[in-house]
Amino acid sequence: MTSPNEIRVPANEITVAKRIDASIAVVGNPNSGKSTLFNRLTGLKQRIGNYPGVTVERHIGVLKHENRAVELVDLPGTHSLSAHSLEEHIAVDVIFGRMEGTRTPDGILAVLDATNLYQGLFLVQQLVELGLPTVVALTMTDAAEKGGIQVDTAELSALLGVPVYPVVATTGAGLDMLRRALVGIKDITPPRRVRIWPELAAAAERLAEDSREPLRFAELERLLIDGPTESNRDILGKLSDAARARIDTERAALFEGEPPIARDARIRYTWVRSVLDKVQKSAPAFVTWRSRVTDFLNLPVPGTIGLFVVMAIVFQAVFAWATPIMDAIDASSSALSAAVFQRLGDNAFSSLIADGVIAGVGSVVIFLPQIIILFLFIILLEDSGYLARAAYLMDRAMRSVGLSGQSIIPMISSFACAVPGIMATRVIPNRRDRIATIMAAPFMTCSARLPVYALLIAAFVPATKVGFLNLQGLVLLGLYLFGIVMGVLTALIMRQTALRGPKPPFALMLPEFRRPNLQTVAIQLLGRAKVFLKRAGTVIFAVAVIVWALAYFPRANDIPADLDANTAAAMQMEQSWLGRAGKVVEPVFEPLGWDWRVSSAVIAGFPAREVVIAVLGTVYAVGDDADEGTLSGRLKSATRPDGSKVFTLPMVIGLLIFYACCLQCAATLAIIRRETNSWRWPIFAWAYMTTIGYLGALVAFQLGSA
Amino acid sequence: MAINGSTLATLKRGQKGIIRAINAADPQVQRLMVLGLVEGTEVQHASSAIGGDPMEFRLFGCGISLRQEHARHFQVAPVGAGD
């Protein structure tokens, strides 16, 4: 099975000059400093792809040291080898060699956070049981020492039976020793098994005697704990029928009615506590400014206020910083188009290049500043540990609409642009929650809706004062609130119907605040930008060229040569496929008060809603005898053949409602396709939002005109 | 298994307690056990969101947040009075 999202990276392709000696899986808890260490070890020599059929990113890098090279595979963070979330399933499947397109690792680099040995050792102990050559990197030793925690590395190494290397990934201390150990991982003797649960080991041995081919004890132990499931079907197939029949009796005797996961956790954490007693010495931690800030932000009310301040700053920065760059991109693509016409003259080819290709590329690139700035903040907040805290603070409010606190960041991000908002839903572990959030996100008023709102409000809403507030501002605020209400209602309805399911568990790790690592931030940011340009870019670009062709062909022959350019363009528009399409669908939009011109502009706006302004500008630019120079003036004076005004107040309100709802954004559709891995959801979202927009506009126009 | 008396949900802010018994029937509670909330472990109620839910607990230096409905499944023996 090959998914279009997948980039297969065979080992021989990333071998630059040296042979890859071994493939090492990098495993650790979430937030253990795993990615920072991985980036430190591999630098920019890494490839980002996807695991087959899912949107979990696959990071593979090469570590070179003293003329030897090994391949490192950075696995999603996990707490246990009993997988819980999608990401944990992938980590476990790769470790056991069950992942399609990935070979069984030759060794394990276990990342252990010195400030959180408790949860870390729970996982590392399970990794050691795999019996593969294993190296432990003890990270954050500097932070641990600051917090008054001393770790006896030699004792820890002796108790685990594997080498332990203390490192500080941010400064690079200790990395050379680790590198040397990793390139020579095949020389490391696999660890002896630490028998912390003799009954389980005995049961696994009994099963092993009955297997048709040699099986790893660790896999059999997992089979006993997790029971026969989809993910360990392979192992079941390798057992004899007799052994398979015995699994249930073995499990019953082993767990005595206790939930296996609970028994597993109880036994292993008891062992972890005994290890901690021997290797960890805690001195009373002195109060740092950081712990004071943490304590203050942990108070319910200051914490919540702090969250709103942070979001306000992010939101402000996205608009304030991105606007000048977006204006510059807009200006340079216009200038480039003008230059093309000047050079090549006015013909089909130059129009394709200027209005199709350059405008198409521009419409993709113009999103980049906002995406990069927003993601910079999201990554900084995530790496500093604040994102988890935001989810925690907002959980109760989000729960009332059927979501969890983890949906708050994607929703707020979508006010800038739904594309990074939807990409940010990756932090939501529950699939139903995640899709409900993706369906709600495009309702948030994004920056591309703003120019459409601004145009229509400036032209048709009087700038009168309501109290001390401006009516135009109030209408804009109302549209923002309308989007929020629609999004929340959508999530609520989805969670009750198509995405009905058990409430997702809410167990969120709340890491201490820490300074984000710049290299990690930069690598993640580049990765996100590339993903957007590649995946969304191709779709937007293709649609932009198609819309260009629809507006350009067929050429109108009967335009008098002496006609002014504006009227000629408007006549061409009427002649084109787009204009004809507008006329064909006019009856559909007639009940909304739209004429064929508005209808064709709305059709043209399918790939990017702000395009509607440009098209309206063309179709209503009839003759320079029109005394109105501005677009809003032209719209105001637009009439039907019978002389009645097209843009009446009910029609404009309907149009605003339509734009608040409909999903006229190819980038969003492309990203929903990518993130849900199916066309089902983008098609549903488009149909659903367009229907709501249509009905809203219908009600507004019919009630208002009655 | 019925859980009576003090639970994680009844710990006061700043108060510590040692987990004594867990009603592990709920898979979501089992997940919390995988994260380290098991019998014999000392936890501290560090903070809560507005309205007291969800709650944040500290164990061995790591913070973990859970909802009250799950915190009720963990019986604890309180240590000290909290603030």
Number of H helices, E strands in chain B: 2, 5
Residues of A in contact with B24 (CB under 8 A): 258-259, 262
Verify whether the Cβ–Cβ distance A300 to B54 is below 8 Å.
no
φ and ψ at A333, to 5 degrees? -70, -30
In a domain, A592, yes or no: no
In the prediction, which pLDDT does A13 show?
47
**In this structure, are residues A180 and A189 in contact, taking their beta carbons and an 8 Å threshold?**
no
In the prediction, which pLDDT does A8 show?
52
Summary mean pLDDT of chain A? 83
At A68, which helix (H) or strand (E)?
Answer: strand A68-74
Residues of A in contact with B33 (CB under 8 A): 261-262, 265-266
In a domain, A163, yes or no: yes
**In this structure, are residues A576 and A549 in contact, taking their beta carbons and an 8 Å threshold?**
no
Q: Which of A187, A208, A240 corresponds to the end of one domain?
A: A187
Whether A359 shows a pLDDT value over 80: the answer reads no
Percent of chain A residues topping a pLDDT of 90: 24
Q: Which of A263, A282, A301 corresponds to the end of one domain?
A: A282
Distance CA A427, CA A327 (A): 32
Verify whether the Cβ–Cβ distance A507 to B33 is below 8 Å.
no
CATH number at residue A17: 3.40.50.300
Query: A170 and A214: one domain?
Result: no
Query: A165 and A221: one domain?
Result: no
Whether A615 shows a pLDDT value over 80: the answer reads no
Query: Would you call the peptide bond into B54 cis, given omega within 30 degrees of 0 as the criterion?
Result: yes
Measured between CB atoms, does A119 come within 8 Å of chain B? yes
Distance CA A427, CA A386 (A): 13
Measured between CB atoms, does A299 come within 8 Å of chain B? yes
Q: By mean pLDDT, which of A290-299, A423-432, A438-447, A573-582 is the weakest?
A: A290-299
pLDDT digits (tens, 9 = 90+) for A501-530: 776 666 678 877 778 888 888 888 887 788
Residue type, A470: N
Q: Closest-CA residue in chain A for B60?
A: A118
Torsion of CA A339, A342, A343, A348, to 10 degrees: 100
Q: Which residue has the tokens 């963070």?
A: A77
Alpha carbon distances (Å) from A432 to A392, A474, A499, B35: 19, 35, 5, 23
Distance CA A44, CA A55 (A): 22
Alpha carbon distances (Å) from A502 to A83, A293, B55: 18, 36, 21
Helix (H, G, I), strand (E, B) or coil at A600: helix
Q: Which residue has the tokens 């690592």?
A: A517
Question: Chain centroid to CA A155: how far?
Answer: 41
- DSSP for A477-543 reads HHHHHHHHHHHHHHHHHHHHTTT--PPPP-EEEEPPP-PPPHHHHHHHHHHHHHHIIIIIHHHHHHH
What radius of gyration do chain B's Cα atoms show? 11
Q: What structural domains does chain B harbor?
A: 8-79 (2.30.30.90)
Other beta carbons within 10 Å of A587 = 10
Query: A58 and A172: one domain?
Result: yes
In a domain, A83, yes or no: yes
Distance CA B14, CA B45 (A): 5
Three-state secondary structure readout of A428-474: CCCHHHHHHHHHHHHHCCCCCHHHHHHHHHHHHCCCCEECCEEHHHH
Choose between A657 and A706: higher pLDDT: A657
Of A115, A119, A301, the CB nearest to B36: A119
Measured between CB atoms, does A124 come within 8 Å of chain B? no
Distance CA A147, CA A282 (A): 8
Measured between CB atoms, does B40 come within 8 Å of chain A? yes
Q: How far is B42 from chain A (nearest CA, A)?
A: 11
Chains A–B, number of C-beta pairs less than 8 Å apart: 125
Q: Closest-CA residue in chain A for B14?
A: A295
Q: Which of A282, A303, A330 corresponds to the end of one domain?
A: A282
Query: A215 and A132: one domain?
Result: no
Distance CA A549, CA A31 (A): 50
Query: A20 and A156: one domain?
Result: yes
Quote the tokens at residue B64.
Answer: 């973990």
For residues A46-60, average pLDDT? 73
In the prediction, which pLDDT does A277 show?
92
Measured between CB atoms, does B18 come within 8 Å of chain A? no
Verify whether the Cβ–Cβ distance B56 to A509 is below 8 Å.
no
pLDDT digits (tens, 9 = 90+) for B33-49: 999 999 999 999 988 88
Would you place residue A628 in the very low, low, confident or very high pLDDT band (cuts 50, 70, 90)? very low
Measured between CB atoms, does A694 come within 8 Å of chain B? no
In a domain, A71, yes or no: yes
Query: A24 and A85: one domain?
Result: yes
Residues 6+ apart with CB under 8 A from A418: A441, A442, A444, A446, A665, A668, A671
Mutate to test the interface with A, among B32, B41, B47, B83 (most CBs of A within 10 A): B47
Query: A96 and A149: one domain?
Result: yes
In a domain, A211, yes or no: yes
Q: Residue A404: which of A421, A429, A422, A382 has the closest Cα?
A: A429
Q: Residue A311: which of A368, A403, A378 has the closest Cα?
A: A378
In a domain, A688, yes or no: no
Residues 6+ apart with CB under 8 A from A450: none
Helix (H, G, I), strand (E, B) or coil at A51: coil
Percent of chain A residues topping a pLDDT of 70: 91
Query: A182 and A56: one domain?
Result: yes
Whether A286 shows a pLDDT value over 70: the answer reads no
Distance CA A253, CA A263 (A): 13
Mutate to test the interface with A, among B28, B48, B62 (most CBs of A within 10 A): B62
For residues A608-614, average pLDDT? 76
Residues of B in contact with A79 (CB under 8 A): 34-35
Whether A634 shows a pLDDT value over 80: the answer reads no
Query: A168 and A221: one domain?
Result: no
Verify whether the Cβ–Cβ distance A118 to B39 is below 8 Å.
no
Three-state secondary structure readout of A151-172: ECHHHHHHHHCCCEEECECCCC
Residues of A in contact with B63 (CB under 8 A): 509-512
CATH number at residue A255: 1.10.287
Would you place residue A621 in the very low, low, confident or very high pLDDT band (cuts 50, 70, 90)? low
Tell me the ipTM for this assembly.
Answer: 0.94
Residue A55: DSSP 8-state: -
Would you place residue A661 in the very low, low, confident or very high pLDDT band (cuts 50, 70, 90)? very high
Number of domains composing chain A: 2
Would you place residue A622 in the very low, low, confident or very high pLDDT band (cuts 50, 70, 90)? low
Distance CA A58, CA A76 (A): 8
In the prediction, which pLDDT does A539 show?
66
Q: How far is B25 from chain A (nearest CA, A)?
A: 7
Verify whether the Cβ–Cβ distance B70 to A505 is below 8 Å.
yes
In a domain, A239, yes or no: yes
User: Where does residue A281 rank: exposed (0-12), middle (13-18), buried (19+ CB within 10 A)?
Assistant: exposed
In the prediction, which pLDDT does A179 show?
95
Which range marks the domain in which residue A131 is found?
Answer: 11-187
Residue A82: DSSP 8-state: S
Distance CA A350, CA A415 (A): 36
Residues 6+ apart with CB under 8 A from A420: A370, A371, A374, A375, A378, A413, A528, A532
Query: A208 and A119: one domain?
Result: no
Buried b (16+ CB within 10 A) or exposed e, A563-583: eeebbbbbbbbbbbbbbebbe
Residues within 8 A of B (CB atoms), A 396-415 only = 396, 405
In a domain, A250, yes or no: yes
Q: By mean pLDDT, which of A281-295, A316-330, B15-29 is the weakest?
A: A281-295
Residue A625: DSSP 8-state: T
Query: A46 and A181: one domain?
Result: yes
Would you place residue A38 in the very low, low, confident or very high pLDDT band (cuts 50, 70, 90)? very high
Distance CA A562, CA A245 (A): 90
Query: A181 and A32: one domain?
Result: yes
